[in-house]
Amino acid sequence: MRNWLTTHYPHYEPDVEPWHIYLQRQYKHAVDGIAVGDRVFFYEFATRRARKDRAQKPDGAQGVVRVGFVAGPLFKNTEGTTEYDDGGDAEWCWEVPADRFEVDGFVARERLCELLGYKRNYTFRGFSGGTGVKQIGAMQADQLLSAFRRREAKDA
């Protein structure tokens, strides 16, 4: 089993978007080797780019908010291009489904940075060369899961 960390914009309410790994067109290969049963940690940003099709812009937790498992292979979704209020757009066309979520935990950004060996002020914007997903080692994953279950905010 491999372990992955992925980033997510805060979800709109009601939360109907699946908690999957999402990749823009050019980053399909960022999940080469991913397999059903791999563990995925989901980091939620504090803010998100405002979408043209949504009125509200939710606040996020700025930390790891759930842990799940890969439930199927990478597939091409059919939602097309997402347009943002700032005039930009993104084609989030690749998706890896996840399920079996554990949600009764949390790891704050600062603690996550410490566990992964990043500077404490790292924000995870542009994470892993802009892909938003990265494979992490077994020891880091075990420490992260323990911290998640203890609901770690900062130094523990």
Q: How far apart are CA 11 and CA 14, in angstroms?
A: 8
pLDDT of the residue at 54: 67
User: pLDDT at residue 137 above 70?
Assistant: yes
pLDDT of the residue at 52: 63
Q: pLDDT tier at 103 (50, 70, 90 boundaries)?
A: very high
pLDDT of the residue at 155: 46
Q: What is the mean pLDDT of the segment spanning 1-5?
A: 97
Residue 117 or residue 14, greater confidence: 117
Alpha-carbon torsion (111, 114, 119, 120), positive or negative? positive
Give residue limits of the domains in the chain.
Answer: 3-150
Q: pLDDT tier at 156 (50, 70, 90 boundaries)?
A: very low
Non-local (6+) Cβ contacts of 121 within 8 A are 113
Element (H, E) at 100: strand 98-102
User: pLDDT at residue 107 above 80?
Assistant: yes
Residue 119 or residue 81, greater confidence: 119
Residue 123 tokens, joined: 């924000």
Chain segment 40-98, per-residue pLDDT in tens = 999 999 977 666 666 666 789 999 999 999 999 999 987 777 777 777 777 788 999 99
Q: What is the overall mean pLDDT for the chain?
A: 89
Structural class in CATH, domain 3-150: alpha beta
- What is the crossing angle of helices 138-150 and 109-116, to 10°? 160
pLDDT of the residue at 31: 97
Q: Closest Cα partner for 67 from 103, 94, 16?
A: 103
Predicted TM-score (pTM) above 0.85: yes
